[in-house]
Amino acid sequence: MISDGGSAILFRLRMTIIILIGLLALLVGRIFELQIIQGAEHRKNSEKYYIVPAEIKAPRGDIVDCNGSLIAGSRQAFSICGIPRSLLHRRDEIDVLSRILGVEEDFIRNRLKLSSCSYRPTVIVRDVDFGTVSMVEEMFNLLPDVLVVAEPIRFYPLARLASHVVGYVGEVTQEDIAKGKGYDVGDLIGKTGIEKEYENYLKGQDGLRYLMFNPSGGSGPVEYEREDSRPPRKGRKIELTIDMELQKYASELLEDRCGAVIAISTESGNIILVASSPGFDPNRFATGISSSDWQEIVEDHDNPLLNRAIQSTYPPGSIFKIVTAGIGLEEGVVTEGSRFKPCSGSYRFGNRTFACWKRQGHGSLDLVGAIAVSCDVYFYQLGEHLALELFDRYAERWKINTKTGIDLPGELSGFVPKPSDYDRLYGKGQWTRGVQLNLAIGQGELLLTPIEICCFIAAIANGGYYYKPHCLERIQGLGDWVVKKPERIDLPISSSTIDVLRKAMLQVVERPHGTGSAARIAGIKVAGKTGTAQNPHGKDHASFVCFAPYDDPLIVLYVIVENSGHGGEIAAPIAGKILRRILERHYGLTLACQDKGK
């Protein structure tokens, strides 16, 4: 086809080859210049400085209480970091650093080797004092691969007061990293409480910067701006429903005894107060807890890490009589005015004698009266008339032994035994119907968490429903606050039953010989129920649950003090004091002075 232009094309192709050779020669010449002529100089330069990417840790979002007082914040701390790749090869540098920091050389090496990325700054020691910082910075000539990094550290100004609700942060585990949510070795993550529950909101977004190092000394690392450098973004602020003033008051009243106090708003499920004693200082975890500190906390017999309000199950004691009475009413076994054989201080069932807590006996009582004075004999007889299966069936229906779904991790659920459970525990046919007598007064194998009791009593107070309990008031959104609507839970329980139970609970506090009279507040009708749970290890657990005001309930309150005695003597007075404080602080009720009331 190309006859005329064939030779012309060939000529042009040859010219192109010549141009190509010329260009290649140019490149080779330049490479020769760089690598052979200037090679030594460039090699020296290549050792002169290097640049590494370094994360800037985002401060976690603040956690505040319902009044806006800070529960968890961040403070700036200084950490000493090293670049594993270069520092691991510098024995002299590690030697100097170990003397300044006062740690073993091997400790430094191990920290560096743990890092997942050999050229990113790795934290060797967190939160050092200012003297150490200035020493490291002054000796930059001897420490070219070390840098001081400002890091936000979690700070809990109220220390142990809200330890269980807020929880604590700690270094991520391998499992957290494997989940692929962007965590790396040494990152901090919420381990318990609100810190864990709302981790995604609280954690924020780390920033990125680049640092230029000068291994030959002469200057410390210098910031190097790159297109993808970005500042960190602080985590979102979280406001809780908790009132720290009340929290403080409750822990003062509990003194050093083990126990728990919960107060929930019946109108919204807002948890105003949730104290668990003893507490711990979450600040000890903030920089990574030392193993000796950890041992000390774990080996403590009082188990301070346990949030007793949601993670402890207790025998409910006489508080459970409300449930037993409810079952009796719903099943039509008793009515408000039903009477059994009078209480003589004990009850004979089969060949066993079941004692009432009042040795001299209560005499003849109707249902309301039996609840008011917490007569055991009345409830032994009621329990005898109920089928054993009913306890579990109603517990399930009324969600008494179901996790409440509170927004705190690690909640346990209670245990209301079924016949099959007794078979499992004692062997088939090895147990008698006596167990249901004990069950009826809230003793025996029965175990409930304080929060479960609170929710059921809230339903009684409200007339059949309660709101799912929660500690979260609102989360700071990108612009506005985000508020979650409370979730209402309705229980299948007839209003006539509720009326009787409410009336009985009022009598517990208001009647002259009511067991809960210590919780009385002048001017406000309080309804409640005492619980005294026998316990093989020492004194009884004293508990008290109540709601107020009787006619238009606002608050449900539960108090338990372990190994302290009778509910009416120990728990009820505490409940009265706290209840009074809550009504004054949160509902603007001006109440007469306690002394005048008496």
Strand partners, 489: 466
Nearest residue to 197 via CA among 189, 208, 205: 189
Type of residue found at 247: Q
The three-class DSSP label of residue 259 is strand
Among 113, 226, 397, 424, binds other proteins (CB under 8 A): 226
Q: Site residues for other proteins, window 181-210 (CB under 8 A)?
A: 210
Residue 123 CB, shortest distance to other proteins, in Å, is 19
Nearer to other proteins, 50 or 415 (CB): 50
Helices (H) and strands (E) in the chain, counts: 23, 21
Residue 228 CB, shortest distance to other proteins, in Å, is 8
Residue 459 CB, shortest distance to other proteins, in Å, is 51
Strand partners, 447: 415
177 binds other proteins (CB under 8 A): no
Nearer to other proteins, 21 or 482 (CB): 21
Nearer to other proteins, 226 or 341 (CB): 226
* Residue at token pair 């006539």: 496
Q: What is the 3-state secondary structure (H, E, C) of 397-435?
A: HCCCCCCCCCCCCCCCCCECCCHHHHHHHHCCCCCCCHH
- Which residue stretch of 8-16, 361-369, 403-411, 551-559 sits at the interface with other proteins (rule: CB under 8 A)? 8-16
Nearest residue to 128 via CA among 95, 108, 153, 145: 153
Nearest residue to 374 via CA among 383, 386, 362, 388: 362
* Residue at token pair 């509990």: 254
- Which residue stretch of 14-22, 407-415, 467-475, 544-552 sits at the interface with other proteins (rule: CB under 8 A)? 14-22
Cα angle value 445/562/559 (rounded, 5°) = 95
180 binds other proteins (CB under 8 A): no
Task: Tally Cβ neighbours within 10 Å of residue 166.
Answer: 27
What DSSP designation does 160 have?
G
Residue 251 CB, shortest distance to other proteins, in Å, is 50
Q: Which long-range contacts (CB under 8 A, 24 or more apart) does 586-595 make?
A: 586/243, 586/272, 586/554, 586/555, 587/554, 589/524, 591/521, 591/522, 591/523, 591/524, 592/522, 592/523, 594/521, 594/522
113 binds other proteins (CB under 8 A): no
Per-position x/- string for 255-284, each x denoting binding to other proteins as judged by CB under 8 A, each - no binding:
------------------------------
Per-position x/- string for 70-109, each x denoting binding to other proteins as judged by CB under 8 A, each - no binding:
---------------x------------------------
Among 227, 256, 299, 480, binds other proteins (CB under 8 A): 227
216 binds other proteins (CB under 8 A): no
114 binds other proteins (CB under 8 A): no
Nearer to other proteins, 13 or 387 (CB): 13
Residue 285 in contact with residue 335, Cβ under 8 Å?
no
Q: Site residues for other proteins, window 19-48 (CB under 8 A)?
A: 19-21, 23-24, 26-28, 30-32, 34-36, 38-43, 45-47
Nearer to other proteins, 10 or 355 (CB): 10
The footprint of other proteins (CB under 8 A) covers: 1-2, 5, 8-10, 12-13, 16-17, 19-21, 23-24, 26-28, 30-32, 34-36, 38-43, 45-47, 50-53, 85, 117-119, 210, 212, 222, 224-227
